[in-house]
Amino acid sequence: MRTRTRPPVGERARAGPLPTAAPPDFALTEFGASAGLRRVRRRDRLRRSTIGLLLASALLAPLSLPVAAQAQPEAETDLEQVLAESADSALEHEALARYYRARAAHARRKAEAHRWMSTHYGGSLRPALAAEQRQHCAQLASIYDGQGKIFDQLAQGHEEAAAAE
């Protein structure tokens, strides 16, 4: 391919853009230059979409970490058990009491959210499905209320242990 030398400064505006070299995989085929250009453009679109998907997955990956952390409640319960069994001082018992009070408050918030959902199901759902969902939310609300009571009892026990020491 012949390349054109740059025209003098005054003639650049009239000459238009300089031709660029063809991509290395561009070749004149029996179908002409347009088939090669279509292949190059398709490859470039594929690269851009691949890069876009990679960027999107990189941005969304941190959002999946909290879900993965919640998937293992046994580890948290084991740690709670070790801390509760090894609490010796009043400060440790007070810290555990604060922790259990916070867990109780969280359980009560979840119960309240499920109570709210149980009263707001309906709309476009089939009546039978809406009734099932309302019952499901009411059951979860009672379960979370029970958890809140248990956490309050645990907190009270550690507060009493802290006061005894």
Taking alpha carbons only, the member of 158, 143, 141, 145 closest to residue 100 is 158
Give yes or no for a contact between 93 and 151, defined as CB atoms under 8 angstroms apart. Answer: no
- Measured in Å, how far apart are the chain's first and last C-alpha atoms? 92
Q: Is 29 helix (H, G, I), strand (E, B) or coil?
A: strand
Q: Classify residue 144 by burial, with Cβ atoms within 10 Å: 0-12, 13-18, 19+.
A: buried
Beta-carbon neighbour count of residue 48 at 10 Å? 10
* Residue labelled with tokens 């009263």: 119
CB-based contacts of 14: which residues, under 8 Å, 6+ apart? 7
At 111, list the tokens.
Answer: 């119960």
Amino acid 141: pLDDT: 95
Q: Which residue has the higher pLDDT, 36 or 89?
A: 89
Give yes or no for a contact between 111 and 144, defined as CB atoms under 8 angstroms apart. Answer: yes
Q: What global pTM score does this model have?
A: 0.51
Mean pLDDT of all residues in 37-47: 73
Which whole-number Å values give the CA distances from 158 to 74, 77, 84, 94, 140, in the listed order? 21, 16, 9, 7, 27
pLDDT in tens, 64-118: 544 444 444 555 667 777 777 777 888 888 888 999 999 999 999 999 999 998 8
